[in-house]
């Protein structure tokens, strides 16, 4: 799960995208990512301003915000110190040993026979397991 989260972080840190915003009267009306904002339909037409002698100011405004991603993500190995290399190798070795299977049924007493009971020691010492 952690590796998926790290992959998503790397993906979004390298991704470049633009956000288009349409303002109408100073108020944000529409935003669009990866495409142009459609607008509110109140943009002024050039033909109406040419016919009138009064020039009117357009109340709509388009703004574009470009977010640049990171281009280079390569780690330069020659700048890693000896202590960092030692830590990386010991971490990889310890992490890989976590997944080794160990034999649980190892018994070193399988080849030995139990001793013969001559006396009942628990009766002599009067110790009983309850």
Q: Using one digit for the tens of pLDDT, what is the confidence trace for 94-113?
A: 988 887 777 677 777 777 88
Contact, 37 vs 55, CB < 8 A? no
Average pLDDT of the residues in 37-58: 58
Count of structural domains, the chain = 1
Report yes or no on 57 lying in a domain.
yes
Contact, 92 vs 44, CB < 8 A? no
Average pLDDT of the residues in 25-32: 83
Report yes or no on 117 lying in a domain.
no
**What is the pTM (predicted TM-score) of this model?**
0.39
Contact, 35 vs 52, CB < 8 A? no
Q: How many CB atoms lie within 10 A of CB 44?
A: 13
- Which domain does 9 fall in, by range? 2-67
Mean model confidence pLDDT for the chain: 77
Res 88: pLDDT:
92
């Amino acid at each position: 799960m952690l590796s998926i989260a790290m992959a998503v972080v790397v993906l979004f840190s390298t991704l470049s995208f633009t956000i288009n915003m349409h303002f109408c009267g100073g108020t944000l009306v529409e935003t669009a990512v990866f495409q142009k904002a459609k607008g509110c339909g109140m943009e002024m037409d050039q033909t109406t301003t040419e016919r009138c002698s009064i020039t009117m100011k357009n109340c709509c405004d388009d703004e574009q915000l470009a977010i640049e991603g990171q281009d280079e993500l390569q780690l330069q190995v020659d700048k890693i110190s000896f202590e960092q290399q030692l830590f990386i190798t010991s971490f990889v070795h310890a992490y890989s040993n976590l997944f080794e299977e160990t034999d649980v049924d190892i018994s070193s007493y399988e080849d030995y026979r139990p001793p013969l009971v001559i006396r009942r020691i628990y009766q002599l010492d009067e110790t009983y397991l309850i």
